[in-house]
Amino acid sequence: MKCPNCGNKNIGKLGINQYYCWNCFIELTLTDGKLSLSQIEEDGSLTTLNDLFKESEREAKANGF
């Protein structure tokens, strides 16, 4: 598994279909073969980063998930 954002393999598992990149501090959620990327704000809310990526870059298989 690698992070679609930074390419680092330091991915932790938060729960079922939920992962966390310890390098760039984003949350990854796996849904229907696609990864959703979210930034965790200081107040604990999530901001989606999906708009910054192409569909193909968010393919779970392409990132080894």
Q: Which residues bind Zn ion (CB under 5 A)?
A: 3, 5-6, 8, 21, 23-24
By beta carbon distance, the residue nearest Zn ion is: 3
- What is the spatial distance between Cα 5 and Cα 22, in angstroms, rounded to a whole number? 12
Nearer to Zn ion, 5 or 63 (CB): 5
Q: Is the dihedral angle over the CA atoms 10, 61, 16, 49 positive or is it negative?
A: positive
Nearer to Zn ion, 17 or 23 (CB): 23
Between CA 54 and CA 17, with CA 51 as vertex, the angle to 5 degrees is 80
Shortest distance, position 31 Cβ to Zn ion, whole Å: 18
